[in-house]
Amino acid sequence: HGTAQIGKNEHLWIGGADTVELAKKYGTPLYLYDVALIRNRAKGFKKAFEEKGIGYQVAYASKAFSSIAIFQLMNQEGLSLDVVSGGELYTALQAGFPADRIHFHGNNKSPAELEFALKSHIGCIVVDNFHEIHLLKTLGEKLNQKVNILLRLTPGIEAHTHDYIITGQEDSKFGFDLGNGQADKALQEVLKSFQFNVLGVHCHIGSQIFETDGFTLAIDKLFSHFKSWNNDFGYFPDVVNLGGGFGIQYTDEDTPLKPEQYVMAMIEEVTKQMSKFKDKKMPEIWIEPGRSLVGDAGTTIYSIGSQKEIEGVRHYVSVDGGMTDNIRPALYQAKYDAYVANKMNETMTNIVSIAGKCCESGDMLIWDLALPKVNDSDYLAVTCTGAYGYSMANNYNRIQRPAVVFVEDGEEQLVVKRETYEDLIRQDLPLKTKVFV
């Protein structure tokens, strides 16, 4: 992926830097990001819209990986930002991200989070439910502010990799259902309140999607609703946000399309639907990719440690991280590929399983992986760890979260420091000693 290549020294190089040298310098586990690949992806999404002259926003779904530096990088590339908590919003503002390009998501935003967002004058709030409509109405009145919103709609389509499921009425905690009248009621409520500026609608149909059918179907469903909204309420959206979910290739089994192919399919379908609305302006199309912007740009370098061979059963190779820095295999049975970063040209003679260092058997990163013979001076590079790796990292077993380093054009930059033991006890308070006389 991206700038990854095998150097003359048979090491894995990324962004013009030797990953083995970086591992020695910054320690392991270490998350490395190929910045050029992220920029490439961002440009790919934007170009697809620009070539067709479509108004758009590409909002990076920050849940995939949030830190000050990644937000600054996305800002450099002219992207917008989707945040889902006060914490992500705070990080974005600290990064100097322009508030008017921040969109706030979530099915249970607290009054404090909403007030923070309104006071920061962010671009829009993606309203998820009736409770939130009421909270925003009250807050808007209190702050004497008109609130820009998108309505999150649940079209009854759920897409994952090769499949999508159509359910008459989706059982989801998110959004207003299109199927049972909730969406119509929500629209009526926000339209009749002076407090809201209803920019348009949003829908997100799933994640790690390899085909375009789910998106085009969602567009069909949305636009048939727009027909009745136009007739009944005289409303037509200026913005249609179609969410994220574009897949990436973790292993050979995965067959994603190119980012721009998803966008092209969306544009085509929206354009087709617009022929039914001759007097209306083409809405802006917004998308929210997370994984496809940062996923395959990330690689985790581990040090190899102990090994256990059970004759005829399994060969375990342990690394110095695991479910604390990548919970996806344990949580979703997610599959990854890996290489020995300092032995890139050696023949893969062994089938091994990569174990993490946490105290439970489920802490396995990869099952049945072909590798050359390894020992404890080798480094394992697990690829495609850039999305939902660091952002879902945790301190289970009081393991420190790793450092994050960006590489580009042979230059590296530490963007998140490795946690220390002191960091681990920073919020702890000692037990009160009872004073007995």
- Which lies closer to ligand LLP via its Cβ, residue 105 or residue 221? 105
Q: Give bridge partners of residue 80 from the DSSP assignment.
A: 59
Exactly one of 124, 203, 358, 359 is catalytic; which is it? 359
Residue 83 to residue 324: CA distance in whole angstroms: 23
According to the annotation, is 290 in a ligand binding site? yes
Closest to ligand LLP by CB, 19 vs 292, is 292
Sites for ligand LLP among residues 311-350 (CB under 6 A): 328, 332
Q: Is 359 a catalytic residue?
A: yes
Which one of residues 64, 266, 358, 399 is an interface residue with ligand LLP (CB under 6 A)? Answer: 64
Q: What mask, x for binding ligand LLP by CB under 6 A, covers residues 93 to 122?
A: ------------x-----------------
Amino acid at 25: K
Query: Among 379, 396, 381, which Cα is nearest to 327's?
Result: 396
Residues 6+ apart with CB under 8 A from 250: 295, 296, 334, 335, 336, 337, 383, 384
> Is 386 within any annotated ligand binding site?
no
Q: In this complex, which beta carbon is closest to ligand LLP, that of residue 166 or of residue 331?
A: 331
Of 75 and 80, which CB lies nearer to ligand LLP in the complex structure?
80
Is the CB of 286 or the CB of 406 nearer to ligand LLP? 286
User: H/E element holding 13?
Assistant: strand 12-14
Interacting stretch for ligand LLP, rule CB under 6 A, among 134-142, 217-225, 264-272, 287-295? 287-295
Contact status: 288 vs ligand LLP (CB under 6 A)? yes
Q: Kindly determine how many residues on this chain lie close enough to bind ligand LLP according to the rule CB under 6 A.
A: 19
Q: Which stretch binds ligand LLP (CB under 6 A): 32-40, 159-167, 242-250, 426-434?
A: 242-250
Q: Is 339 annotated as a binding residue?
A: no
Q: Does the CA dihedral 372-373-378-379 come out positive or negative?
A: positive
Is 398 one of the annotated binding-site residues? no
CA distances from 172 to 127, 206, 265 (A): 15, 11, 25
> 160 forms bridges with which residues in the sheet?
163, 207
x-or-dash pattern for ligand LLP, window 198-227, by CB under 6 A? ------x--x--------------------
Look at the block and give the residue holding tokens 């020995």.
340
Q: Which is nearer to ligand LLP, 105 or 357 (CB)?
A: 105
Tell me which DSSP letter residue 50 carries: H
Residues recorded for the chain = 437
Find the part of the chain contacting ligand LLP (CB under 6 A) among 191-199, 239-247, 251-259, 419-427: 239-247
Tokens of 395: 């301190």
How would you class 228 by CB atoms within 10 Å of its CB: exposed for 0-12, middle for 13-18, buried for 19 or more? exposed
How far the first Cα of the chain sits from its last, in Å, is: 69
Q: How far is the CB of 88 from ligand LLP (least distance, A)?
A: 12
289 is in an annotated binding site: yes
- Asked if 30 and 55 count as a contact pair (C-beta separation under 8 A), the reply is no
Which has the closest alpha carbon to 333: 323, 343, 348? 323
Binding site annotation covers 60?
A: no
Burial letters 261-287, b for 16+ CB under 10 A, else e:
ebbbbbbebbeebeeeeeeeebbbbbb
CB-nearer residue toward ligand LLP: 286 or 339: 286
Distance CA 200, CA 240 (A): 6
Among 290, 329, 356, 402, binds ligand LLP (CB under 6 A): 290
The stretch among 40-48, 290-298, 301-309, 396-404 that binds ligand LLP (CB under 6 A) is: 290-298
Residues 6+ apart with CB under 8 A from 163: none
Identify the H or E element spanning 184: helix 182-192
Cα–Cα dist 247/259, whole Å: 8
Stretches 134-142, 253-261, 286-294, 299-307: which one binds ligand LLP (CB under 6 A)? 286-294
Based on the shown chain and the rule CB under 6 A, indicate whether residue 244 belongs to the binding site for ligand LLP. yes
Binding of ligand LLP at residue 46 (CB under 6 A)? Answer: no
**Which parts are annotated binding residues?**
245, 288-291, 328, 332, 360, 388
Catalytic residues: 359
**Which parts are annotated binding residues for pyridoxal 5'-phosphate?**
245, 288-291, 388
Give me the residues that bind ligand LLP (CB under 6 A), please. Answer: 61, 64, 82, 105, 204, 207, 243-246, 288-292, 328, 332, 387-388
**Which parts are annotated binding residues for substrate?**
291, 328, 332, 360, 388
